Every structure is written in C-alpha cells, then in structure tokens.
Amino acid sequence: MKDSTTAALPPVVHREAYQAEVDALRIREKAHTHEGDAIAAARRRLPMVEVDAGLTLTGPNGPLTLLDAFEGRKQLIAYYFMWHPGHPAAEQCQGCTWCNGNVGELSYLHSRDITYAVFCQGPYAESVRYRDFMGWPMPWYSAVDSLDDLLVGRKINMMHIVCYVRDEDRVFETWWTTIRGVEAMDNSYSLMDLTVYGQQEAHEDSPAGWPQQWEVGGLTADGRPISQWSRLEAGRSDELT
C-alpha cells in the first residue's frame, strides 16, 4: 500500500484566498443539502404497498412474525444482510459489515418510534454468531423462510434497506434501496469525503499525486473486513458453524 505521507498536497495560499474558495464551495454544498431535503420530502409522499404481517422470521426465541419485529413501534427499518452459509467471519460480506457496523446508537431511532433490525438472508444460529462476533447491539433475525415474499421483484442475497410502517396489525412497505443506496447508513466514507484526500480510492476524481491506494469499495485489509481486526484481538472466534 502506498505511503500517504509522501502524497502531493494542495497549494498553500493566504487565509483570505482560502476562505474565498471555501465560500464558493459552500454554495454548492448548501444546494446539495437542499436537494437532499427535497428528495426526503418526496420520499414522505410515496404510496405504500401492503406486506403480509404474518411472514415468518427466526429470532432468539424461535419463530416470530414481521409484525413482531416492530417491537411495538410504529415504523421498522430492516437491513437485509447478505450471507455466505458455512463460511467463517473473514468471508462474510464486507459491504454489509461496513453498513451495519455504522449503526450503533439506537435510542435516537427509538425516540421517533422506529425500530432498526437486521433481516439476515442466512440461517439464524450461524448468522447470529456473526452479530455476536462483531458485538453489534441491534435485533437480529433470519428472514430465510420469507425472502421470496419480503423481497418481491428484488434480488435475494443482495444488500437492501427496506422501510415499513404499521397500521395496528397491518404492515406496509414504504421505501427501499440497494447497492450504493445503502451508503445512507455510512459515517466513515462521509467523514473521509470531508478530508483533502477523500476515500483514497482509484475511482475518485482527484488531482494528480493524490493517494489512491485503496481499491473501489476498499473495506478489507489482509483478507478480511477492516472492522474485524479488533474483534480478533479481543479473542473472539472466527468460526461461525
């Protein structure tokens, strides 16, 4: 991996010239924020489709329903976690590990009557060991038995975020996304993008000499998702089966 300490640097200018450039970019940043607000407003005006509230999931106490996964709250955000059956932790999805690993504090969601849960696309007993290996706090369920109905028209074993709302005992899907849409869950890349070198990945439009030693989606190091190293150092087992 290239040493970023030897990378090129931006030109040095006086404070006034620097601030003028920041002010010019700020106009575009504000426009971007306002467009995001407008898109969110449109999202709140989408129609919805009913989903069978009795669809079966598997959790720590055995079978439960989609409605049960709301935990009594009005709304549910479900992250559909890709799964590779029989594989150790090092070989589970780096993208899903990255996305889900950015979800730590759930109390703010709960304050808005929203439950966040993982709907894993693999068997419960094996996959929940991965949740425990990573030390994640969120509810974790297997959705294997109901994927055909939960992901109608979408590719099974692809990462998805799906949002639901309930009206008493009826459940409705209100929005979903996949691929780069799941970056809505990210904090790390968003913070990287605030720095001068950005994500340091080869796909980025950066000046000549900028460090770009990471491959696109550079979420692994030495053959495993980056966030797993601290778990190994803590003595957790890589084996899930």
pLDDT digits (tens, 9 = 90+) for 163-197: 999 999 999 999 999 999 999 998 888 899 999 99
3-state SS assignment for residue 164: strand
Q: Which residues pair with 116 in a beta bridge?
A: 77
Sorted by sequence, the CB contacts under 8 Å of residue 181 that are 6+ apart come out as 161
**Beta strand pairing status for 160-167 and 75-81?**
antiparallel
3-state SS assignment for residue 174: strand
Structure tokens at 231: 């778990």
Which pLDDT score, from 0 to 100, does residue 2 have? Answer: 46
Which pLDDT score, from 0 to 100, does residue 127 have? Answer: 96
- Across 44-63, b (16+ Cβ under 10 Å) vs e yields eeeeeeebebebbbbbeeee
pLDDT digits (tens, 9 = 90+) for 94-127: 999 999 999 989 999 999 999 999 999 999 999 9
Q: Which residues of the chain have pLDDT under 70?
A: 1-5, 217
**Beta strand pairing status for 114-120 and 75-81?**
parallel
Which pLDDT score, from 0 to 100, does residue 140 have? Answer: 98
Which pLDDT score, from 0 to 100, does residue 1 have? Answer: 45
Which pLDDT score, from 0 to 100, does residue 226 have? Answer: 81
Is there a contact between 129 and 107 (Cβ–Cβ < 8 Å)?
no
